Amino acid sequence: MSGRNKFLESLTRENAAVVLVDHQVGLLSGVRDITVGELKHNVVALAKAATVLGIPLVVTTTAAGSMWGPTAPELVEALPAGLKIIDRSTVNAWHDDRVREAIEATGRQKLIFAGVSLEVCAALPAYSATAAGYDTYVAVDASGTFSQTKRQAGLARMQQAGVIVSDYATLMVEALADNAAPEAGAVYAALDMPFAVLVGQIAEAHQA
């Protein structure tokens, strides 16, 4: 069998970029498929882990000054210093030239999307990027939407379109690749998974 299979290729810190779409306070207030606290935790952890790994981030909002409000402050605090959040009017983030050009400028083939809402803000640019030849992923637990029906419909359509769905921690651990890497401790700390923190504490106690 010839040809590449994007479903079998690994994410790496060299081939991936993360695109965070519309994690805004107004939209977050309507999320019902995941608790807002958990969603904030997950997207912040995704941003922090990507930064540790040197994976570029593109962050965008819709009508931040009017309709949906600013990016959640917890996420803003987690972003790399100097990163500009791109505010746009288009429903599909890919249709904004500045967003698309920022993604293209990363030079990365594999794009990890997360957004509020899942079926619009994350999924629509993922479809467009897929059509443009990128390999697209959606971190479903760093995304949220307004009902279980919307979540189920969004997941089904993404899978039909060839978007790879996963969770934020798995995507970042896959990109880490080697637990002996110097950044491994910082990546797991950024991911903030309770069991990983506990294991780290046990290991430190054992070494002492």
pLDDT digits (tens, 9 = 90+) for 75-118: 999 999 999 999 999 999 999 999 999 999 999 999 999 999 99
Closest CA to 74 of 125, 113, 32, 28: 28
Alpha-carbon distance values, 150 to 73, 120, 156, 208 (Å): 26, 10, 10, 50
pLDDT digits (tens, 9 = 90+) for 136-174: 999 999 999 999 999 999 999 999 999 999 999 999 999
Which band of pLDDT confidence, cut at 50, 70 and 90, is reported for residue 6? confident
The CATH class for the domain spanning 16-207 reads alpha beta
Sheet containing 16-21: order of strands: 86-88, 57-62, 16-21, 110-115, 135-139, 164-166
- Please indicate whether residue 121 is annotated as part of the active site: yes
| Structural domain boundaries in the chain | 16-207
Residue of 72, 112, 121, 138 marked active site: 121
pTM score? 0.93
